[in-house]
Chains A and B, each alone.
Chain A
Amino acid sequence: MVIGVSGVQGDFREHKWMIEKLGIETFVVKLPEDLDKVDGLIIPGGESTAMIRIMKMTCFFEKLREKIEGGFPVYGTCAGLIILAREIENYPQESLGVIDIKVVRNAYGRQVDSFDEMIEIKGFDKPFKAVFIRAPRVEQYGPDVEALAFLNNSPVMCRQKNVLVTSFHPELTDDTRVHEYFLNMVKEYKVN
């Protein structure tokens, strides 16, 4: 099993280290053809506007959408969540639309308002330290979306079949449980 980490822009190194810590091989993906070399993809935190523009210039965007629609497992953190979302409410911005959530960008304020908080995640035995950095907020989610964690009544971790998103950054902590959850999604996909 090889986990791809999008190296288009953002904190991909931290995600790579998390997966490698779990003993799994990684590959930094930058071009559309690289997507065929991996069993799943993580889209890291960073700037969603920058990532989308770069992805569109190489057809990475279109190829990724096609693969996700075919069941390819993908996990997006923060900017990654925005790229995977159906709709972004407060900025006219294109997205992949592969998870039925409506998102507000920078919903918690500017950098001085960035924070961390202990949250409960469904199926996890202990709370998780969630780091929110200029984070997006999920305003609405459709019936096919399972909300796995909440903060002040807004979902901060969601899954729709092969698509997993968090508005926080588990890769900035030492806690690998969210990454393990994603690895299990990839394993399920490989079996089927």
Chain B
Amino acid sequence: MEKGTWEIKKGFAEMFKGGVIMDVTTAEQARVAEEAGAVAVMALERVPADIRKAGGVARMANVSKIKEIMQAVSIPVMAKVRIGHIAEARILEALGVDYIDESEVLTPADDRFHINKHEFTVPFVCGARNLGEALRRLSEGAAMIRTKGEPGTGNIVEAVKHMRTVMAEIRKVQNLPYEEIVSYAKEIGAPAELVQQVKELGRLPVVNFAAGGVATPADAALMMMLGADGVFVGSGIFKSKDPVKMAKSIVMAVTYWNDPEMLLKISEDIGEPMEGLEVETLEVKLQERGW
């Protein structure tokens, strides 16, 4: 019997496909998310919009809070650690969290290196803005990738940019002759073996979700249209006027993204979405964290 193999880590992420992973800060919110049809919840101290407002150092959530959320729901529970914070990750693994997000939403603990995720039994998801960044995270052992977007803004433009960039680079790699692979890998800062794998598969070797700025069912559907395998929603649900309706509608939109009639039905009567922020006016861009 084997546990924590690459196949099991990567295979678990495949189960999230076509699904929505929702940020929650209480057991009550976790139950709302499960009831609405979330495939997993991300246990947090504060949603990204509030982290942005509060400023200061954002750390791993309180363990007792994560525990409370794990006890409240039957679906998988994820939690975030600071970039490079090996000890926070070991604590979450010991706690039995189902997936760890080594996330730019929290204040980085290491200004040069990410965690060696191969050493863990628990799987990791990491953010990326382009193919090079995605493949660097993969080579460190991430078993799932998501766009970074710009968390806590309710503004989809950055997530779109990151998804389009990754997809365009994948198409480019597919057309590269083999003799150009190594130089291209060097250019984007990724291992040549992984670039070659992308060329052969025509996609990332792991599940690729959208995250950072999803605020409406239409935003979620847009990301699916651009090739996302599923969607993370951070502040978009519990910062909206009617979280129950918003959560259900986003879940439906991720399944029926290619059915305009259904999207129309889903988008009626969702209430007021979260307030949005212009990316140009931001003092701190969270997406720039990570190396």
Which positions in A face B, CB cutoff 8 Å? Answer: 7-14, 30-31, 45-47, 49-50, 53-54, 57, 78-79, 91, 105-106, 109-117, 131, 133-134, 169, 172
Residue-wise, chain B 89-106 has the 8 Å CB interface mask toward A (1 for contact) of 000010011110000000
Set B8, B35, B76, B97: member contacting A116, Cβ < 8 A? B8
Residues of B with C-beta under 8 A to A13: 14, 17
| Closest Cβ neighbor of B11 among chain A residues | A172
Q: Which of B1-35 contact A (CB under 8 A)?
A: 1-5, 7-8, 11-12, 14-20, 34-35
Question: B122 at the A/B interface (Cβ < 8 Å)?
Answer: yes
Q: Does B274 contact A (CB under 8 A)?
A: no
Residues of B within 8 A of A47 (CB): 15-16, 19, 38-40, 75-76
Which B residues contact A (CB, under 8 angstroms)?
A: 1-5, 7-8, 11-12, 14-20, 34-40, 74-76, 93, 96-99, 121-123, 248, 251-252, 255-256, 259
Of all A-B residue pairs in the complex, the 9 with the closest CB atoms, nearest first, are A111-B98, A11-B14, A53-B37, A50-B37, A47-B39, A172-B11, A9-B18, A110-B96, A115-B3
Q: Please, how many angstroms separate the alpha-carbon atoms of A131 and B37 in the complex?
A: 25
Known contacts being A7-B255, A47-B75, A134-B98, is A115 close to B19, with CB within 8 Å? no
Q: How far is the CB of A5 from chain B (nearest CB, A)?
A: 11
With A7-B255, A9-B255, A112-B122 known as contacts, the answer to whether A49 contacts B75 (CB < 8 A) is yes
Q: How many pairs, one residue from A and one from B, have CB atoms within 8 Å of each other in the complex?
A: 115
Partner of A9, one of B5, B11, B35, B39: B39
Q: How far is the CA of A183 from the CA of B228 in the complex (A)?
A: 30
- In the complex, the answer to whether B18 meets A91 with C-beta atoms within 8 Å is no
Given that A46-B18, A47-B75, A49-B34 are known contacts, is A54 also in contact with B255, CB under 8 Å in the complex? yes
Q: Do residues B252 and A54 form an inter-chain contact, with CB atoms below 8 A?
A: yes
Q: B4: which of A30, A50, A105, A112 is its contact (CB, 8 Å)?
A: A112
- Closest chain A CB from B32 CB (angstroms): 12
Asked whether B3 lies within 8 Å of A114 as measured between CB atoms, the reply is yes
Query: What CA separation (Å) do A5 and B263 show in the bound complex?
Result: 21
| Residues in chain B near residue A78, CB distance under 8 A | 15
Output the least CB separation between B30 and chain A (Å).
Answer: 12
For the complex, what is the distance from the CA of A115 to the CA of B12, rounded to whole Å?
A: 11
In the assembled complex, how far is the CB of residue A136 from the closest CB belonging to chain B, in whole angstroms?
11
Give the residue name and chain of the A residue nearest to B18 (CB).
Answer: A9
Contact status A30-B3, CB under 8 Å = no
Pick 9 A–B contacts, CB within 8 A, sort by A.
A10-B18, A53-B35, A53-B251, A91-B74, A110-B96, A111-B122, A114-B4, A114-B12, A115-B1
Q: Is the CB of A50 within 8 A of B14?
A: no
> Which residue from A31, A46, A105 sits with its C-beta under 8 Å from B15?
A46
Give the residue name and chain of the A residue nearest to B8 (CB): A114
Contact at B3–A45, with CB atoms within 8 Å?
no
Nearest CB of B to A174, in Å: 11
Given A14-B14, A114-B3, check contact A50 B123 (CB 8 Å): no
Contacts of B36 in A (CB 8 A): 53
Cβ-defined contact, B76 with A54, below 8 A: no
Flag if B256 contacts A30 (CB, 8 Å).
yes
* Extra A-B contacts (12), CB below 8 Å, given A45-B14, A54-B251, A114-B8: A11-B11, A12-B18, A46-B19, A47-B16, A47-B38, A47-B40, A50-B19, A50-B39, A110-B98, A111-B122, A116-B2, A134-B12
Q: Are A54 and B14 in contact, with the CB atoms below 8 A?
A: no
Contact A133 B11 (CB under 8 A): yes
Chain B contacts for A49, CB-based, 8 A: 34, 37, 74-75
Alpha-carbon distance between A91 and B31 when the two chains are bound, in angstroms: 13
Given contacts A47-B39, A115-B3, contact A134 B19 (CB under 8 A): no
Question: How far apart sit A123 and B133, CA to CA, in the bound complex (Å)?
Answer: 47
User: Of all chain B residues, which has the CB nearest A8?
Assistant: B255
A105 to B5, CA, bound (A): 22
